[in-house]
Structure formats: structure tokens, C-alpha cells
């Protein structure tokens, strides 16, 4: 076949079927210019099939790809050639990079590079978890004499779960004369009557339990814990939020790990499990997200000797560590992380005990879940501004400092994700004129580093927890990535407020006493308002739908699955925030009872 027949003057001739076979067999004897990468001696050899000699080269994946690319009439081959052959770029010789394009491309790559760095950090956490998997806290014998313990239960308007919490803690298997329980109530509704009545019943049964109510919420949860600590008699302080149900042997299993004070063990944290994991697709996603944190993040940091944090509940502190670190402070929304870093900077050591589980209730309502995530995102950045300078000045290994930076600044990825989202369409236009091959060579690896690490991170945690059926998590990966994208608007606002020093109220997460797949929250109080933000999320979803249309029009099919995650994520979070109450009515097998109002005696009222 002549060069003219290919439609391009001076182009190498397309090989015939015989040469395609030779390409498949290793390109060893093909005389065509496409094989000019072969050594000259081999290209000068006589054709083995013409002389009757039959030889075979090694089959390579590359040669198979080349064969597919040059095959006449192969749509995939034509598409690949269009993307990778500079000579087929329709804008070759016409497009020249200008200042406007640089204003788009440079910030685009800067944002993508930072996100890729945080994505690579997830890979590093998985690697550290595997590398230090045998670095576990030593087995701890029971003490000769059990120490005094104060259990603190901070609550605020928890009418649906407070009685369940008190009854669970009252069943602790621990010497009664060494156990003290404090119900720290900042409630402004009838939770006060329910909690006080429950406390009085157990006081009458001889349990050492106190009801402490504040008329103001100064310091929010941190203020309540600090106030309770003044009246506490325990050497150790166990803390449980209202939606947690610790086992009866919780204290007997955790306290032996502290040893004596010379060991400098200041806190032990247990792993959360979930009462309503299978309630809905949202709670399934939440449980996987939290499993990643508790299995991989905590596991990697604790086992490698890096700083990690108390999670605000389901853990025990040595009182001396709290006081030595400066006590509870309420200048951040994550008072638990703040105290954790201050205590570790003072030389106290922490243990993470994943084998000890503490069941909890996940948020079942989208607005409550978003409020929780925004509070955590804002609090971490506030803690970073407060604590990171001290960490960087401290006499600590470089690995500890680096991990602290990645941990406390992780929230910065949310505003960067919004920037990336708004720049994606103009960047696609500019990159289209520069050629597809550059997009594959540069953009794709950065996207893989920033996004695919999420899949590997959470799959690794599920494989640890559920070795027999962890593969079912694959079905939820699109949900996980989409929800993470959808949360970026609310969390970006929270992070920017933290960076600008804007204070906000401690927005607690509503609990509705939802266990398993039964029950409903639709007619109960404490639901968060959606506000204006869901409308922005829906607008972003529609914007990315238009971006998909542009990508399809320009045959940029490889980006469509990634863009679909943005469409799905923003529309899902936006629409669920506005209409989840209506969607709840469509759940199969869920009864919709009228509102049940707890009576002061603790007996359900009607």
C-alpha cells in the first residue's frame, strides 16, 4: 500500500495482514517503517514467511496495542490514534498558548497537584498500617486494685436517647464504690425532666450518679466537661456521647492498659461500631467513611508512633493528663483533637484499642450528617491554626510533624475541590485545544492520585474488618466518592470560616434512637434546616451535567465517569437535604407513628 493511499503524504504505509501478524508476533521481521524501532539487522533480514522459515517473537501488550491502533476500521483504534497522534490534532499549528489560558491552566494544575498530594497521603496511611500491623499495645493484666473512675455523659436536648444511655452505663460491671457517673445536661427542653427522673431512680437504687445542669452553654461540650471535672472524684475519666452504648465490661477492658502513672499513658480510644449501619444507603456510606478513619487512619498513626486524637467519646482519659495539658478548652469546635495534641506535646502517650468496640448511632438525616461533617472540618482547621506552630517547633521526628500537618490540614481539600469543580469546564476547553495526549499524560495521573486513592483507602479498611465479604463494599464506592464530593460545598464554607477566624455555635448531631433497619425520624424534633446551600449544590450538579454534554460532544469519553460522580454527588446531597422527609415515606417496612413525647418519669408518654 502506498503512502498516498493512507491519506497522508509522507506517512508510513499501513501494514497488510501478513505484517499485522508479524507485529503481533513481536515486529521482528516486518519491513514496514512502523517497525523502524527494531534493530537494523533484524529489519534487513529476509522475510521468514517468504523463504519458508517460520519464527516467532515474544508477544507483548504494546505490540497488541499497536496492532489495534493501526487496524483499518477499528473504532477504538481510530479513537486512540486521534488522541495520541499529534499529526491528527485539528488545532496543530493553529493553537498557541496565551495569557488567558495560563490563568486557567496554572491554578487548575496547582489545585490538582495539592489534591493529588493528599490522595498520595492516603496510600501512605495504608502502607503504614500494613508495615506496622504487628506494633500493638502489649496485653495488660488486671490491676491489683481497681482505680476510681468518673463516667461523664454530656448531653444537650437528647430526649430520644438519654434514658437509653443512662441505663446502659448503669449496667457497668465495675466496683460500685469506685464508680461515679455524671450526667452533664445543658438541655433547654424536656430532656431535663427525662434525664433528672432517670438519675433519681438510679440514685434510689444506690448508684453513685449525679445530675448536673447548666443554665448556659458556655464552652458547649468542652465547657460542660470542664465544669463536671471540677466535681469529679475519679482518677480516670470515661466519656460517652448520648448516642453511644458501651458494653458492660468496657471499663474492665480499657483501664488495665494505663498501668501506673510512670507509663505516661494518658488516653485510650476504642473503635466505634454502628447500631443502624444498614438503615439506608446514607448510613452504609457513613459507616464505611468512619471505618476508614478508625481502622486505617487511627491504626496507622497509633502503630507508627505518630500523634492521633481522642474522638470525643468512647474513650478514657487519665485525669492527670487532662490537667497537665491545660484542661478542656473551647476555642475550637474539635475540643477533643485540641486536647489530644496538647497532651501528646506534653509527653503523654495514647493507645488505640480497635478490638474493643463501642456501638453508636449514625445520623440518618442528610442535614444532620452535613452539620456533623462541617463541624469536624472547621474544628480541625481551627486546631491546625492553634496547634501546628507548636508541633512544628517541638523536638519531634520529622515523620510525626509531617503526619500532623496532613491530619490537621486535611479539610483544606474541600475549598480546593470547589475551585477544581468550577475550573473543570474551562480547563477542559483549554486542554482540548492543547491535545488529548497531554491530558492523558498529565491530567489522568493527577486525577488517579487524588481520587482513586479514596477507593483503595476504604476498601483496605473493609477488608480488615470483614475479610469474608469485604468485596460488597465495591458496590458502595460510587456512593462514597459522590457523597464526599457533595459534602464539599458545606465543608468548604466551614473551612473558610475557620481560616478567617469566624466563630460559630457548636451544632450537635441530632439522634433519634434508630437501631437496625426499623424506626423513623420523620416526625421527631431536632431536625436541621436545609438553608440555601442545597440549592447551590443542585446548581453545581446541573453545571456538571452540562460539562458531561461538552465532553461527549468533543469525544472526551474518558472523563465522563469522573464527571458523573460530581453530578451524582451534588444532586444527591442537594435533593436529599431538601426532600429527605418525603423520600423517607417511601422506605419499605417503616411505620410512621405520631410523635411520642417522653414523660418526666422515663415512661413513654403519649
CB 30 within 8 A of CB 15: yes
Q: Which domains does the chain have, with CATH numbers?
A: 15-72 (no CATH), 140-365 (3.90.550.10)
pLDDT in tens, 558-594: 778 888 989 999 999 999 888 765 554 444 444 433 3
Q: What is the mean pLDDT of each run of 10 residues along the chain (606 residues)?
A: 44 43 41 45 43 42 50 56 54 56 84 90 96 91 94 94 95 97 94 95 96 93 96 97 96 95 92 92 94 97 97 97 97 96 98 97 89 94 97 97 97 93 80 58 64 88 94 89 92 95 79 62 57 90 91 80 90 86 48 36 32
Q: Looking at residue 239, what is its pLDDT?
A: 98
Cell numbers 468496657 correspond to: 250
* Cα dihedral across residues 358, 364, 365, 366: positive or negative: positive
Annotated catalytic residue: which of 186, 241, 243, 291?
186
Q: Looking at residue 430, what is its pLDDT?
A: 75
Q: What is the DSSP string of 187-234?
A: --STHHHHHHHHHHHHHHTT--EEEEE-SS-TTHHHHHHHHHHHH---
Question: Among 410, 378, 451, which Cα is nearest to 112's?
Answer: 451
SS3 352: strand
SS3 596: coil
- In whole angstroms, give the CA distance from residue 357 to residue 354: 7
Question: CA angle 594-605-190, nearest 5°?
Answer: 95
- In whole angstroms, give the CA distance from residue 250 to residue 174: 9
Gyration radius from the chain CA atoms: 30
**Strand spans (E) along 111-173:** 149-155
- Ramachandran angles phi, psi of 96, nearest 5°: -135, 130
Instruction: State the virtual CA torsion across 307, 312, 314, 319 in degrees, nearest 10.
Output: 80
- What nine digits make up the cell of 319? 485525669
- What nine digits make up the cell of 13? 504505509
- Ramachandran angles phi, psi of 515, nearest 5°: -125, 145
Rounded alpha-carbon distances, angstroms, from residue 342 to 132, 322, 333, 484: 25, 9, 15, 30
Which residues are CB-neighbours of 524 under 8 A, at least 6 positions away?
160, 512, 595
- In whole angstroms, give the CA distance from residue 253 to residue 270: 10
Question: Among 336, 270, 340, 338, which Cα is nearest to 306's?
Answer: 340
Burial of 453 (0-12, 13-18, 19+ CB in 10 A): buried
Cell numbers 443502624 correspond to: 276
CB 257 within 8 A of CB 137: yes
101 is catalytic: no
Q: Which helix (H) or strand (E) holds 169?
A: helix 162-170
- Other Cβ atoms less than 10 A from the Cβ of 210: the count is 15
Annotated catalytic residue: which of 19, 336, 338, 443?
336
Question: What is the number of helices (H) and of strands (E) in the chain?
Answer: 23, 7
Long-range contacts of 546-551 (CB under 8 A, 24+ apart): 546/425, 547/424, 547/425, 547/428, 550/425, 550/428, 550/429, 551/428
- What nine digits make up the cell of 210? 449525679
pLDDT in tens, 462-511: 999 999 999 888 889 989 999 999 999 999 999 999 999 998 877 777 77
CB 7 within 8 A of CB 81: no
- Ramachandran angles phi, psi of 238, nearest 5°: -100, 140
Rounded alpha-carbon distances, angstroms, from residue 433 to 83, 97, 105, 109, 439: 12, 9, 12, 16, 10
Q: Looking at residue 605, what is its pLDDT?
A: 31
Q: Looking at residue 377, what is its pLDDT?
A: 95
DSSP 8-state class, residue 598: B
Question: Among 338, 84, 352, which Cα is nearest to 222's?
Answer: 338
- In whole angstroms, give the CA distance from residue 497 to residue 494: 5
DSSP 8-state class, residue 93: T
Question: Among 454, 273, 286, which Cα is nearest to 368's?
Answer: 286
CB 130 within 8 A of CB 295: no
Instruction: State the virtual CA torsion across 497, 501, 502, 505 in degrees, nearest 10.
Output: 100
Question: Among 32, 26, 257, 240, which Cα is nearest to 151's?
Answer: 240
pLDDT in tens, 158-192: 988 999 999 999 999 999 999 999 999 999 989 99
- In whole angstroms, give the CA distance from residue 121 to residue 116: 8
- What nine digits make up the cell of 532? 440555601
Question: CA angle 338-341-344, nearest 5°?
Answer: 145
336 is catalytic: yes
Amino acid at each position: 500500500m502506498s503512502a498516498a493511499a493512507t491519506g497522508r503524504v509522507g506517512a508510513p504505509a499501513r501494514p497488510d495482514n501478513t505484517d499485522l501478524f508479524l507485529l503481533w508476533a513481536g515486529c521482528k521481521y516486518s519491513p514496514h517503517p512502523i517497525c523502524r524501532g527494531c534493530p537494523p539487522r533484524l529489519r534487513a533480514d529476509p522475510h521468514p514467511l517468504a523463504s519458508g522459515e517460520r519464527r516467532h517473537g515474544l508477544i507483548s501488550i504494546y505490540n497488541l496495542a499497536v496492532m489495534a491502533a493501526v487496524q483499518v476500521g477499528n473504532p477504538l483504534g481510530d479513537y486512540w490514534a486521534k488522541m495520541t497522534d499529534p499529526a491528527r490534532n485539528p488545532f496543530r499549528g493553529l493553537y498557541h498558548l496565551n495569557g488567558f489560558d495560563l490563568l486557567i491552566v496554572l491554578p487548575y494544575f496547582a489545585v490538582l497537584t495539592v489534591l493529588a498530594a493528599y490522595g498520595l497521603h492516603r496510600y501512605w496511611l495504608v502502607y503504614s498500617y500494613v508495615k506496622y500491623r504487628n506494633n500493638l499495645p502489649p496485653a495488660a493484666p488486671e490491676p491489683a486494685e481497681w482505680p476510681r473512675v468518673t463516667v461523664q455523659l454530656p448531653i444537650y436536648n437528647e430526649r430520644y436517647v438519654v434514658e437509653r444511655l443512662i441505663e446502659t452505663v448503669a449496667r457497668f460491671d465495675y466496683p460500685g464504690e469506685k464508680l461515679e457517673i455524671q450526667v452533664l445536661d445543658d438541655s433547654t427542653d424536656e430532656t431535663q425532666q427525662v434525664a433528672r427522673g432517670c438519675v433519681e431512680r438510679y440514685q434510689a437504687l444506690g448508684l453513685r450518679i449525679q445530675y448536673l445542669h447548666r443554665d448556659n452553654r458556655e464552652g458547649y461540650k468542652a465547657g460542660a466537661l470542664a465544669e463536671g471535672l471540677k466535681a469529679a472524684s475519679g482518677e480516670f475519666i470515661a466519656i460517652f456521647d448520648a448516642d453511644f452504648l458501651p458494653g458492660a465490661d468496657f471499663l474492665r477492658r480499657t483501664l488495665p492498659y494505663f498501668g501506673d502513672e510512670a507509663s505516661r499513658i494518658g488516653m485510650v480510644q476504642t473503635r466505634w461500631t454502628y447500631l443502624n449501619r444498614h438503615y439506608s444507603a446514607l448510613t452504609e456510606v457513613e459507616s464505611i467513611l468512619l471505618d476508614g478513619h478508625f481502622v486505617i487512619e487511627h491504626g496507622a498513626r497509633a502503630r507508627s508512633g505518630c500523634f492521633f486524637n481522642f474522638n470525643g467519646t468512647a474513650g478514657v482519659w487519665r485525669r492527670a493528663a487532662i490537667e497537665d495539658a491545660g484542661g478542656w478548652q473551647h476555642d475550637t469546635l474539635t475540643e477533643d483533637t485540641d486536647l489530644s495534641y496538647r497532651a501528646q506535646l506534653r509527653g503523654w502517650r495514647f493507645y488505640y484499642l480497635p478490638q474493643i468496640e463501642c456501638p453508636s448511632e449514625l445520623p440518618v438525616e442528610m442535614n444532620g450528617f452535613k452539620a456533623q461533617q462541617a463541624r469536624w472540618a472547621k474544628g480541625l482547621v481551627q486546631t491546625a491554626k492553634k496547634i501546628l506552630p507548636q508541633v512544628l517547633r517541638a523536638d519531634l521526628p520529622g515523620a510525626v510533624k509531617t503526619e500532623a500537618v496532613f491530619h490537621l490540614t486535611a479539610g483544606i481539600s474541600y475549598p480546593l475541590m470547589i475551585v477544581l469543580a468550577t475550573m473543570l469546564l474551562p480547563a477542559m476547553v483549554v486542554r482540548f485545544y492543547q491535545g488529548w495526549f497531554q491530558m492523558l499524560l498529565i491530567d489522568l495521573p493527577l486525577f488517579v492520585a487524588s481520587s482513586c486513592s479514596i477507593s483503595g483507602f476504604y476498601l483496605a479498611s473493609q477488608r480488615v474488618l470483614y475479610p469474608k465479604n469485604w468485596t460488597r463494599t465495591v458496590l458502595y464506592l460510587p456512593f462514597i466518592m459522590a457523597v464526599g464530593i457533595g459534602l464539599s460545598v458545606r465543608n468548604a464554607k466551614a473551612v473558610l470560616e475557620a481560616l478567617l477566624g469566624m466563630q460559630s455555635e457548636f451544632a450537635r448531631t441530632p439522634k433519634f434512637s434508630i437501631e437496625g433497619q426499623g424506626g423513623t425520624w420523620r416526625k421527631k424534633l431536632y431536625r436541621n434546616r436545609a438553608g440555601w446551600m442545597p440549592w447551590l449544590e443542585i446548581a453545581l450538579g446541573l453545571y456538571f451535567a452540562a460539562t458531561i454534554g461538552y465532553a461527549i460532544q468533543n469525544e472526551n469519553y474518558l472523563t465522563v465517569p469522573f464527571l458523573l460522580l460530581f453530578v451524582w454527588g451534588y444532586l444527591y446531597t442537594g435533593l436529599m437535604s431538601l426532600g429527605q422527609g418525603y423520600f423517607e415515606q417511601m422506605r419499605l417496612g417503616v411505620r410512621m407513628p405520631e410523635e411520642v413525647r417522653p414523660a418526666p418519669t422515663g415512661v413513654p408518654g403519649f
